[in-house]
Structure 1
Amino acid sequence: MQKASSWLLAGVLGTSAATSQAATLEERMAAFEARASAAENRAALAEQQTRALARELQQIKLSTPALQPAASTAAVISAPALDTRLAKIEARQQSIEKQGSSGHLTDGFSFKGYARSGLLMNDELGGGRGGPYTTPAGSVGGAVGRLGNEDDTYMRIDLSKEILAQNGTRSKFTVSIADGVESSNDWTADESNLNVRQVFTELDHLAAFKGNSVFENSTLWAGKRFDRDNFDIHWLDSDVVFLAGTGGGIYDVQMNKNWRSNYSLVGRNYGDFSEGGINADVESYILTSNQFFDSGQWQWMFNGIGSKKNDIGTRTNEAGLTPADSGLHSMLANHQKDFFGREGFFKTALLYGQGLGAEVKNIGSDGELIDDARALRLALYGETPIAPGWRIGPSLLAEQSKDRYVKGDDYRWMTLNVRLANAINSNFEMAYEMSWQTMDLDPKGYMQRNAVDGNFWKFTIAPTFKPDVGDLLTRPELRVFASLMDWSSDLDRYSSTDNFGKSDFNAGGVWQYGIQMETWF
C-alpha cells in the first residue's frame, strides 16, 4: 500500500511532458555512456575523466524521479537544470574523445568543399558565353549576377587534420586543392588548372598562453592561405575583400572584452622578369592589421603593401609605365546579425586604396598599378524573408578608380542585383535574379581598350531542387534556368578580346539556357 502511494504521488507530481522528457534524457544518457566507453577504449589518457563522467551519469539516474519511481519529491531536478548539466557533460565527452583521437585516420579529420558544374547554351544550341565578370566593367572587378550566367566547372576541396597534444594545445593542418575548366568533356587533363591554393598549419589553445587574458584564445598560423575573415557577396561571385598569400600571423588577440585583433604578414609574387641583363623575382609584401569591435559587428582593416623591386627598371606595366612599389589599403565594415531588425543579415563595407592598394578587393594582387592609382568601393548586401515562402537577397557593389594603369584613366561602375526565391514545397523553389550594371570606362588606350559608356541587364528564372527550402544559402542546389541578357551597343567596342562584340554575342538581346549544380559543405 505504501509503495502504491509513492507511485501515486509520483504520478500526481509528474506530468506527461516530464515522462516524455525522461525517455529522451534516458536515450541521451545511453548515448553518452556508449561514447564514454568508446573513448575509454581508444585512449588511456582519458580513462580517469571517463570514469568520472560515468559516475556523474549514474548520479543523474539516481536523482531523476522519472528513472526512479519511488524517489521522493525532494529529489526532483528541474528540466532546465538537468539539460544544463547534460550539456556540460556532453561538452566534456567531446573533449575526451578528441584527446583519444591520435593515431586514428578519421579522428580529427574534416573534409569541406565547394563545387559548381553546369551546361550553358544559347538559343541556337551553340556554346553559351558569360560569367560574373563578362561585362567591360568586369575587367576592373565589376561583377554582375551569377545565376544562369556560369559556363564552367569549378571545385575546391579543403582537407584538414586536427591533433590534440597532451598539454591541451591543438594543431590543425589544412590543404586546399582547386580546379576549374570550361570544357563539357569528362576528361579535361589538357585544360586543367589544378592547383594547391592553400597549405598551412594553425596552433590554438596553446598551453603556454593559458591564463594570459590577451593571448589565451589566440590562434597562430603559418603557410599559404586565404585570410580567415575574408567575406563575399555570393550572388555576384565577388569577394568584398580577399587577402591571400604565403606568410604567417596571429588571430584573436583579445585586447579587451569588446576588442579583438588579427595581425599577419603575407607575400605575393608579381613574376620573374629580365631586362638589361637583370633578373628579378618581384615580390610583394602585405602587412595587415584587422580590428574587430563590439562582438565583431564593426571591423577596421588596414594594409600596408611594399614591393621595392617593382619599380627599379626591372619591369614596366602593359602601358609601358613604371608601376608602383608601395600602397595603402583600408576597409571599414559593419556586420549586422539581422536585416534592419528583421530575420536575416546585412553587411556594409567601404574600401579605399592607393598605389598597389588600389586593387581594393584582391589585396596586393595587381602589380600593374601605378603610384597615382586611387580607388573607392562600396558594398552592401543581405538576406531576409519578405513574405511567407519568399526570401530576398539584395546587393549593391560600386567603384570609382582613377589613374590605375595610365595617368588620366577613369573607371566608374555600379551593380545592383536582387536574388529572389519562392518556396513551392519542402524541396522545390523558384529562384529569380535581376541584375543591372551601369558603367563609364575610359582606359586611355590601356591594353587597346576603348572608352565606353552604357548599361547591362540580366534576368534569370531558375526552377531549383534542394534538400530544404527557406534559406538562400542552403546547398546543394540542382537547377535548370533561362537567362535573358542585353546591353548598350556602345559596350561592344570596349575590347576585341572580350565576349562583347563577337558576331553571336552582341547588344540586342541574348537568350541562354542551362542546367547546373552548386554545392558547399
Structure 2
Amino acid sequence: MQHAARYLLAGLLSSSATVSALAASPMTLEERMLALEARASAAEMRASAAEQQAQAIALELQRLKGGSPDLSASAQATAPVLDARLAKVEARQEALEKLGRSETQNPSKLTNGFSFNGYARSGLLVGEGLSGGRGGPYVTPAGSVGGAVGRLGNEDDTYMRIDLSKELHAENGTRSKVTVSIADGVETSNDWTAAESSLNVRQVYAALDHIAAFKGNPMLENASLWAGKRYDRDTFDIHWLDSDVVYLAGTGGGIYDLQLGDNWRSNFSLMGRDYGDFSATGGDGDVESYILTSNQFFADGRWQWMLNAIGANKNDTRSNAAGLTPADSGVQSMLAHHQKGFFGREGFFKTALLYGQGLGAEVKNLGSDGELLDDAKALRLALYGQTPLARGWRIAPSLLAEQSQDRYVGGDDYRWMTLNLRLAKEVSSNFEMVYEMSWQTMDLDPKGYQQRNAVDGSFWKLTVAPTFKPDMGGFFTRPELRVFASLMDWSADLDNYSDSDAFGEDGFQAGGLWQFGVQMETWF
C-alpha cells in the first residue's frame, strides 16, 4: 500500500513539473501538443495503478467483511479504515481518468480546434501559334447537358476553395463544428482579377455530434445534426472528369448517421435552392426549389440508395427558353456500389445508376435546373476506379454515359458517352509521367432549344504530362506540378451545334489541334 501511495505522489509531482515547464519555456504548438499528450498518457498510467490498488483494497475488504472465523477481531476491526481508504483511492482514480480524457479528447486544448484545408488549381493553357488555349472538362456540345471529358491538359482556369472549421467541446461531451468555405474561379491569367472574380461563400453551416442527449440510444448515439448552407457530406465525384456523380447542395438542415440496423445507416435532409431569372420572362414572384433527401447505406457503406423528391411551387407559372411550361416537381434516385478494392486488387471501384423525372431529370446537380419539363426523364451510368497496374504503373479507368428525352422541348433527345483512361508511370521518387486518353461520342437533337442544332459525332483527346510531386503515394498525392501537351480532334458536324460554344470558332475547329501548358493542382 505504501509503495502505491509513493507512486501516486511521484506522478502528481511529475504532472506539476510538466505544467510548470510548459508555462516557463517557449514551446512550439507541436511541442506543446506532444508534451500534453505525454502528460495525458502518464495520467492514464496513474489511473491504471490506482485502479489496481482499489481492486486490492476491495478484495481485502471483502475478505474482512466476510467474517471468516480464521481472522482475529483486530483484523476485522480494520475494515472501516480500509473502507475510507478505498473511497479516497476511487475518487482519485476518477479524477485521473477525467484528466486523461480531457487532454486527449478535447482538441481545443491541443490545436485550439481550428482546421484549414481546401483545393486549388492554376495553370496556363497555350494554343497553336501562341494563341490563347480553350478547353475545360465540358468543352464539347455534350457538355451542355453534363457530358464531361478528361480534364488533364484541358483546363485554363484558376480555381480555389478554402475550408475553415472550428471545433468546440462542451463539458457534457457534445462536439460542435462550424465550417465556412470560400471559393473563387477565373480564367484570366492576370495577377489582379477583382473585376473577373466570382468569389463566393460556398458553405457556412454548423454541426453537432457526440450529442450527450443521444447517449445510450443505439439509433441516435452516433448521429450528427447540421443546419446552414453546404454541400452534402456524401457527395462523390469522378476526379479525372471533374464531374460529380451526384451533387446535392443548398441551404437547409439534416441529420446524418442514424443507425437503423446493424448494417443500415441513414441520412435525411431538406435543402432549398433559388432558380432565379429564367431564360424567358414571365411568372409570378420568386421561385425556389426544395429537395427532400433520403440517403441509405447498407453493408458497411458498400451499397447506397439515394432518393430525392423535388418541389418548386409557382415554377409552372413561368416559361422556359422554348416558351413551354416547366415542371413544378420531380424525383431522382441513385443506386451506387462502393467497392473496396479493384476486383480483388488494391484500389477501389465505384458504380452508380441514376434516374430522374421532371425536375429530377437533372440527375447530377439536384434541383438546379428549373427549365425541365414534366415529361423530362434521364438515365445515367457512372463507372470508375483506380489500381496499381504493374511495377511503377497505375491505371484509372472511368465511364460516364447518359440518355435523356423531353428535357426542354417535347421530343428532344440527348445521348452521350465518355470513356476516359488515366495512366501514371513512376520514374523517380518525385517524378512521374502521366497520360490521359478520352473519347466521347454524342447524338444530340435539341429541337432548336436555345438555337442549338442537331449533331452526331465524336471527340477525342490525348495528353502527356511530365509531373513532379512530393511522393509517389498514388493518384491522389498532391501537390502536382505539371507541364503537358494535348492533341484534340472531333467530328466536323460538332462545329455546327451552337454559335455560343467553343467548337467552330476561329482557331478552334475540327481537324486536330495541339495545346500546351503548365499547371499546379493540390488539396490540403
Whether the TM-score (by the shorter chain) exceeds 0.5 is yes
CA distance in 1, matches of 2:511, 2:319: 39
Contact 1:272–1:280, Cα closer than 8 Å, also in 2: no
Residue equivalent to 2:209? 204
2:138 counterpart (128, 133, 136): 133
Task: Report what 1:372 is aligned to.
Answer: 375
**Counterpart position of 1:55:** 46
Q: CA deviation at 1:504?
A: 0.4
Match of 2:116 in 1: 111
Alignment of 1:279-318 (within 5 A): 279-311=284-316, 313=317, 315-318=318-321
Q: SS at the partner of 1:235?
A: helix
Letter in 2 for 1:519: T
* Structure 1 residues 374 and 464, CA gap change in structure 2 (3 angstroms): same
Distance in 2 (alpha carbons) for counterparts of 1:368 and 1:37: 64
With over 3 angstroms needed to count, the CA separation of the structure-2 counterparts of 1:301 and 1:480, relative to structure 1, is same
Q: 1:456 and 2:459 equivalent?
A: yes
Distance 1:332 1:275, change over 3 A: closer
Shift of 1:37: 5.1
Structure 1 counterpart of 2:147? 142
1:99 counterpart residue number: 106
In structure 1, the residue matched to 2:345 is 342
Code of the residue aligned with 2:412 in structure 1: it is: D
Deviations 1:49-73 (A, max 9, x none): 77732525889xxxxxxxxxxxxxx
Within the candidate set 390, 395, 399, 1:387 is matched to 390
TM-aligned CA distance change 1:276 to 1:371, over 3 Å: closer
Give 1:397's aligned residue: 400
Q: Which runs of 5+ in 1 are unaligned?
A: 1-31, 60-88
2:129 corresponds to 1:124 = yes
Alignment-derived partner of residue 257 in structure 1: 262
- AA aligned to 1:241 is V
Q: Deviations over 1:5-26 (max 9, x none)?
A: xxxxxxxxxxxxxxxxxxxxxx
Partner of 1:164: 169
CA distance in 2, matches of 1:100, 1:336: 33
How far did 1:133 drift? Answer: 0.1
Write the distance in 2 (CA, Å) between the matches of 1:377 and 1:138. 14
1:495-514 alignment runs, 5 A limit: 495-514=498-517
- Say which of 175, 193, 198 aligns to 1:188: 193
Gap change, CA 1:308 and 1:181, over 3 Å in 2: same
Structure 2 counterpart of 1:361: 364
Q: Distance in 2 between matches of 1:340 and 1:92?
A: 47
Do 1:351 and 1:360's aligned partners in 2 also have CA atoms closer than 8 Å? yes
1:511: how far off? Answer: 0.2
Aligned residues: 455
1:93 to 1:429, Cα distance in 2 relative to 1, 3 A: farther
Structure 2: give runs of 5+ residues left out of the alignment: 1-13, 24-31, 51-95
SS of 1:271 mapped into structure 2? coil
What is the letter of the counterpart of residue 510 of structure 2? A
Q: Which amino acid aligns with 2:160?
A: M
Cα distance in 1 for residues equivalent to 2:485 and 2:137: 16
| Residue identity opposite 2:108 in structure 1 | S
Q: Contact 2:284–2:314 at 8 Å: present in 1 too?
A: no
Change in 2 beyond 3 A, CA 1:394/1:38: farther
> Deviations along 1:133-186, whole A, 9 cap, x unmatched?
000000000000000000000000000000000000000000000000000000
Identity of aligned residues (%): 73
* Counterparts of 2:355 and 2:169, CA distance in 1: 41
Show CA shifts across 1:337-366 (max 9, x none): 100000000000000000000000001110
| Cα distance in 1 between the residues matched to 2:425 and 2:49 | 50
- Give the Cα separation in 1 of the matches to 2:441 and 2:245: 19
Contact 1:99–1:166 (CA under 8 A) maintained in structure 2: no
Rounded Cα–Cα distance in structure 1 between residues aligned with 2:99 and 2:521: 37
TM-score, reference length from structure 2: 0.82
